[in-house]
Amino acid sequence: MSPIRPNPGLLDIEPYQGGKALTASGRAATKLSSNESALGPSPHAVAAFQDVAARLRRYPDGSAKALREAIADHYGLNAEHVICGNGSDEIIQLLCQAYLSPGDEMLYSEHGFSLYAIAARAAGATPVAAPEKNRVTDVDALLTSVSPATRIVFIANPNNPTGTYLPLSELQRLRTELRSDILLVLDAAYAEFVRRNDYAAGIELVAGHDNVVMTRTFSKIYALAGLRLGWAYCPRAVVDVLNRIRGPFNINAAAQAAGIAALQDRAFTEAAIDHNEKWLAWLDTELRQLGLRTEPSVGNFLLISFPETAAKSAQAADGFLQQQGLILRRMESYGFTNALRLTVGTEAENKAVIAALRLFMQDGNDAAK
Ligand SMILES: Cc1ncc(COP(=O)(O)O)c(C=O)c1O
């Protein structure tokens, strides 16, 4: 009798590593490892979630019509071109399932979001990473990495974990120079946090092309990560394909209700954006004053590089911070062996991280202490 076997290549996939919520000793801690908005979700979104408890018997609307219309209304889109996912993770996976086959290549940026490679491999395709320039996505390097087998290019803009971004003009250049049979996916998970005149999430690129998709999420600015809700703005033909292969009820009723309420609470969203703008700049300045390298992030997180000495390495810093009940994100799975990623937190959390890192950077302090 032959054993059951998974599809070729699946056992070569390194499972996605999420941000930890417990310290090494198993203690609950201040979690600054997954880039959820510091202010948490809108109280209206929480109330909408709770209201759904009375209706759990029923299936949700499989087309998520009211939610798609609320998204379209909020962002100025055509609801027919919006599709929702169980997190934008699901949409990334569906796109790979739909447009990649064994032998195809998925192109992404060297330190791009790690799920792209996992989703490509799950579809039997090969991920190809293009080098970055100064930890910023490099359009020229992407273009030289295109091969006849390339079918999808994923760009996280701003990128996670660097927080750096490409201006709209560079995205336009990339689209113009890519072959038309290559799908360009713009992952704008952190778009709401960005305050730059030359930045655009990609709405106009999707509107003007039949081979561009923009993905978004409710996990970050709206802090509904636990509900799993993402969406994409797509050409009609792409929506049509994804609707055929997604789960028929992929967005649960609570996520639909909370998502609508979160969008409607514009004042809360503005407060979350303002909070981030203030504390991102503060953290960046403080970290640099401690002698630590950061990248110029426009998201709600900072990539922090540590000195190349064992006592002051990212690993040592992680151990020290965990002893203080603070969890940042280890970055080995993104190819940064000596860096941690810090999510902007509340005022108290931000101050606690800087105080702990100040102690850590003093002579004689390391994780072994
Ligand atoms: C760039 C990027 N894209 C997508 C996601 C996935 O978000 P979601 O919670 O919507 O699946 C993340 C989450 O970390 C991210 O950083």
How confident is the model over 97-116, as pLDDT tens digits? 999 999 999 999 999 999 99
Give the CA radius of gyration of the chain: 21
| Two structure tokens written together for 360 | 């850590």
- Within a domain: residue 6? no
More confident position, 28 or 253: 253
Instruction: Look at residue 320 and tell me whether its pLDDT is greater than 90.
Output: yes
Among 215, 247, 265, the domain-final residue is 265
* Range from 21-25, 308-312, 330-334, 356-360 carrying the lowest mean pLDDT: 21-25
- How many folded domains does the chain comprise? 2
The mean pLDDT of 49-58, rounded to a whole number, is 97
Atom nearest to 219 CA in ligand 1: 9
Query: Do residues 309 and 355 share a domain?
Result: yes
- Within a domain: residue 79? yes
- Within a domain: residue 9? no
300 lines ligand 1 (CB under 6 A): no
Q: Say if strands 150-156 and 105-109 run parallel, antiparallel, or are unpaired.
A: parallel
Instruction: Enumerate the H helices of 76-193 as residue ranges.
Output: 88-99, 115-122, 139-145, 168-177
Query: Do residues 35 and 47 share a domain?
Result: no
What do you get for the CA distance between the two ends of the chain, in Å? 56
Among 265, 291, 313, the domain-final residue is 265
Query: Do residues 258 and 273 share a domain?
Result: no
Query: Do residues 254 and 325 share a domain?
Result: no
- Within a domain: residue 291? yes
What distance in angstroms lies between residue 311's CA and the mean position of ligand 1's atoms?
32
Atom nearest to 92 CA in ligand 1: 4
126 lines ligand 1 (CB under 6 A): no
What distance in angstroms lies between residue 35's CA and the mean position of ligand 1's atoms?
9
Query: Do residues 171 and 318 share a domain?
Result: no
Label residue 341 left, alpha or beta by phi (over 0 means left) and psi (-120 to 50 means alpha): beta
Q: What is the pLDDT of residues 114-151, one digit of tens each?
A: 999 999 999 999 999 999 999 999 999 999 999 999 99
Question: Which CATH number do you get for residue 90?
Answer: 3.40.640.10
What distance in angstroms lies between residue 336's CA and the mean position of ligand 1's atoms?
19
What distance in angstroms lies between residue 194's CA and the mean position of ligand 1's atoms?
16
Instruction: Look at residue 368 and tell me whether its pLDDT is greater than 60.
Output: no
Distance (Å, whole) CA 79 – CA 74: 11
Query: Do residues 18 and 127 share a domain?
Result: no
113 lines ligand 1 (CB under 6 A): yes
What distance in angstroms lies between residue 343's CA and the mean position of ligand 1's atoms?
14
Instruction: Look at residue 369 and tell me whether its pLDDT is greater than 70.
Output: no
Atom nearest to 225 CA in ligand 1: 9
Atom nearest to 158 CA in ligand 1: 1
Q: What is the pLDDT of residues 69-80, one digit of tens each?
A: 999 999 999 999
Query: Do residues 87 and 161 share a domain?
Result: yes
Query: Do residues 49 and 36 share a domain?
Result: no
Query: Do residues 217 and 124 share a domain?
Result: yes
Query: Do residues 349 and 272 share a domain?
Result: yes
More confident position, 334 or 205: 205
Question: Which CATH number do you get for residue 19?
Answer: 3.90.1150.10
86 lines ligand 1 (CB under 6 A): no
- pTM of structure: 0.96
Among 265, 282, 317, the domain-final residue is 265
The mean pLDDT of 343-348, rounded to a whole number, is 98
Full residue range of the structural domain in which residue 159 is found: 43-265
Query: Do residues 35 and 161 share a domain?
Result: no
- Within a domain: residue 169? yes
- The structure tokens 């799908």 sit at 183
Average pLDDT, the chain: 96
Query: Do residues 259 and 273 share a domain?
Result: no
What distance in angstroms lies between residue 214's CA and the mean position of ligand 1's atoms?
13
For every residue of 261-282, DSSP letters joined together read HHHH-HHHHHHHHHHHHHHHHH
- Within a domain: residue 211? yes
Residue of 33, 187, 250, 300 best suited for mutating to test ligand 1, as the one with most atoms within 8 Å of CB: 187
- Within a domain: residue 4? no
